[in-house]
Amino acid sequence: MAVDLHVHSNVSDGVYSPRELVLMAKAKGLKAFALTDHDSVQGVPSALSAGDEVGVYVIPGVELSTDIEDAEVHILGFYIDMSSTCLHEVLATLKERRRERTAKILHHLKALGIDIPLDYVLTLGKEGFTGRSQIFKAMVNLGFARPEKRYGDFEKYLGKKGLAYVEHHGLSPKEAVRFIRDSGGAPVLAHPGTHIPHGFIDELIDFGLEGIEAYHPTHSNETTRKWLEFAKSRNLIVTGGSDFHGGNPADAPGLGSLPVPDSTVICLTQRWLEIQAV
């Protein structure tokens, strides 16, 4: 039995529908998983009902993209309250900003001789979701880029230092933490890697951060160990997941493929209940 607390569906940039993911989780013998789509919770209701149906514990989640100077900071929110009005308002604003950003990126690409209509990109995302993965898909479909990671076309055009890159103006990390708390959830810093300073995390803790995603496919054993120690020193909970998107099996680890301890779900749930009780 295993758990996976970081999974994307086709509601954001994943390949499989929320329901398909639940069935896959069941087939793999997963005990629990969290659906954590980018800036969207629209897949949560169908994941929850499929989970009830087949007996997989589904945690409603979200992953918010935020930016600091040189790095992307992602904040996961677990046990989001789907009835929160502030939740839907903020996510609608973020969706609109994603759309504006996509239009700007397409403008830059056009100047580079890559002409892709916005309407076409919008057809590639579910529920109006748009991001760099949909733009890249459009580039591939129209013959402007090769899909394989090894050719580096994604990085060349759409990566943080890419030719057509445009900053995503989402929430600041502090706003994201606060917003998840206001929406009834437990905020967790996603895949901190090796570049996020401890002092920065301490500031987020003051805003209500409750955990660190120590287990992530981009983390070496050493990195995971460091974050486990850090979490202990700050009384933060620990989470982890495969960050599964589907797609090319060579590019990404499979659903439930990371050895995340079952205890993470118990600690997360306990901490969330404690937050609720305050």
Binding mask of the shown chain, residues 171 to 190, with x at each position contacting Zn ion by CB under 5 A: -------------------x
Assess 213 for contact with Zn ion (CB under 5 A). Answer: no
Q: Do 169 and 68 touch, CB atoms closer than 8 A?
A: no
Number of residues binding to Zn ion, judged by CB under 5 A: 4
Assess 132 for contact with Zn ion (CB under 5 A). Answer: no
Alpha carbon of residue 198 to chain centroid: 21
The neighbouring-strand residues paired with 180 are: none
Stretch that binds Zn ion, among 77-85, 137-145, 239-247, 267-275 (CB under 5 A): 239-247
Which residue lies nearer to Zn ion by CB, 77 or 116?
77
The Cβ of residue 273 has, within 10 Å, a number of other Cβ atoms equal to 11
Assess 243 for contact with Zn ion (CB under 5 A). Answer: yes
Which residue lies nearer to Zn ion by CB, 8 or 106?
8
Nearest approach, Cβ of 97 to Zn ion (angstroms)?
17
φ, ψ (nearest 5 deg) of residue 137: -60, -45
Question: DSSP state, 20?
Answer: H
Which residue from 40, 58, 74, 185 is in contact with Zn ion, where contact means CB under 5 A? 74
Q: What is the DSSP string of 125-186?
A: SGGG---HHHHHHHHHHTTSS---GGG-HHHHHHSTTSTT------B-HHHHHHHHHHTT-E
Binding mask of the shown chain, residues 49 to 68, with x at each position contacting Zn ion by CB under 5 A: --------------x-----
| Residues at the site binding Zn ion, with contacts judged by CB under 5 A | 63, 74, 190, 243
